[in-house]
């Protein structure tokens, strides 16, 4: 899915991750991170500065991961646990969809093939 720049809200703060490529077209392992905002935002100054601080913290996590293996492991563990939670939610939804309806202790099951 392509998101066009004009679909962003004036108050959005965008973190752009721009990979660098070698002359052969392969990623060279470097990434430029940019924080993009609209000068026409409608936020009060303190809110804007606080959100920019959060964006800066997110961007600074990348070099900290290179310097601190424990920090990187904590983030990796967190991401893996969130993927597991999302996968479980998705599986639970598919199971719910396979049950057409239930009345009392009678359950009607939908046997249409779906990947669980």
pLDDT tens string 1-10: 566 666 889 9
What is the DSSP pairing of strand 27-36 with strand 99-103?
unpaired
pTM: 0.65
| CA angle, 67 then 31 then 70, to 5° | 25
Residue 102 has pLDDT above 80, yes or no: no
Residue 110 has pLDDT above 70, yes or no: no
pLDDT of residue 16: 93
Positive or negative, the CA dihedral 100, 101, 102, 108 is: negative
Give 51-58 contacts, CB < 8 A, sequence gap 24+.
Answer: 51/13, 52/13, 55/13, 55/15, 58/15
């Amino acid at each position: 899915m392509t998101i066009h720049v004009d679909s962003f809200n004036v108050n959005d703060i965008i973190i752009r991750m721009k990979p660098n490529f070698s002359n052969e077209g392969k990623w060279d392992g470097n990434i430029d991170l940019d924080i993009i905002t609209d000068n026409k935002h409608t936020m009060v100054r303190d809110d804007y500065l606080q959100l920019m601080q959060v964006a800066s913290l997110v961007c600074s996590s990348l070099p900290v991961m290179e310097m601190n293996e424990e920090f990187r492991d904590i983030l990796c563990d967190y991401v893996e646990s969130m993927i597991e939670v999302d996968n479980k939610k998705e599986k639970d939804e598919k199971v719910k969809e396979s049950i057409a309806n239930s009345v009392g202790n009678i359950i009607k099951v939908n046997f249409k093939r779906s990947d669980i």
